[in-house]
């Protein structure tokens, strides 16, 4: 049983399109995150949600909108995709919002052409 | 500095010890972490250290913390080819906001 699963694993799309990445965790954790890893492997937090409420919203363009229908799911919707959005997006979860032990999904590689 | 700093590459021979260094930014960080990322996978927590500790040992892993210099290191004893991965140090800024270094790619040669 995969603890943190995200789909799709690979996504290739054209500039200007809208796409979504889904994430689910079956660990019973309260907090979920989206991280972006660029081509140089630099990893930066985008959002975190605790019990469906937004806790962290780093400087991310408005084109990125997270949605948490329940505490086990955190989806990421991206509007009007740009070349610079190409990256690997990682979903993660932790037991609560103060915890530093994050459980990561396998990543979703987004390529914008 | 503003960033968590790590050297980008380290190459060792199988059986040697590896030492990966990190400089973090916030002396008030309570916990510091080492994560491992294998190719094509997400990050996995390897170990962590509480800020009031100088050293933590966990099997082949030894973490050393120098709070005065804000320096963290990870030593892997008897490095194996399976240890080849990218290693990230991270500090906890609170509310689960982990600030990661850029990662050190460890290559282990047979």
Mean pLDDT throughout A11-25?
97
pLDDT score at A28: 94
CB atoms within 10 A of CB B39: 7
Q: Which chain A positions have a beta carbon within 8 Å of B103's beta carbon?
A: 41-43
Q: Do B96 and A48 touch (CB under 8 A)?
A: yes
Please determine, for residue B57, whether its predicted confidence score (pLDDT) is greater than 60. Answer: yes
A56 and chain B: CB distance < 8 Å anywhere?
yes
Q: Are strands A87-94 and B9-13 parallel, antiparallel or unpaired?
A: unpaired
Q: Do B96 and A4 touch (CB under 8 A)?
A: no
pLDDT score at B20: 98
Q: Output helix, strand, coil percentages for chain A, rounded to the nearest 5.
A: 5, 55, 40
Could you tell me which chain B residue has the CA closest to the CA of A100?
B96
pLDDT confidence tier of residue A99, bands split at 50, 70 and 90: confident
């Amino acid at each position: 049983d995969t603890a943190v699963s995200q789909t799709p694993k690979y996504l290739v799309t054209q500039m200007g399109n809208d796409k979504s990445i889904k994430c689910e965790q079956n660990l019973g954790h309260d907090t979920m995150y989206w991280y972006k890893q660029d081509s140089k492997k630099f990893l930066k937090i985008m959002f975190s949600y605790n019990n469906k409420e937004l806790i962290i919203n780093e400087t991310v363009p408005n084109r990125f909108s997270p949605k948490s229908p329940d505490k086990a799911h955190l989806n990421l919707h991206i509007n009007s995709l740009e070349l610079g959005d190409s990256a690997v997006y990682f979903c993660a979860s932790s037991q609560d919002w103060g915890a530093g032990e994050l459980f990561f999904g396998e990543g979703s590689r987004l390529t914008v052409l | 500095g503003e960033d968590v700093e790590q050297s980008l590459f380290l190459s060792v021979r199988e059986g040697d010890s590896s030492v990966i260094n990190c400089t973090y930014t916030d002396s008030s960080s309570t916990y510091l972490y080492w994560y491992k990322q294998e190719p094509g996978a997400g990050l996995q927590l390897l170990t962590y250290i509480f800020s009031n500790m100088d050293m933590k040992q966990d099997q082949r892993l030894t973490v050393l913390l120098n709070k005065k210099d804000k320096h963290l290191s990870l030593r892997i004893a008897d490095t194996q080819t399976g240890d080849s991965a990218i290693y990230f140090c991270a500090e906890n800024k609170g509310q689960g906001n982990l600030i990661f270094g850029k990662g050190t790619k460890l290559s282990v040669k047979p």
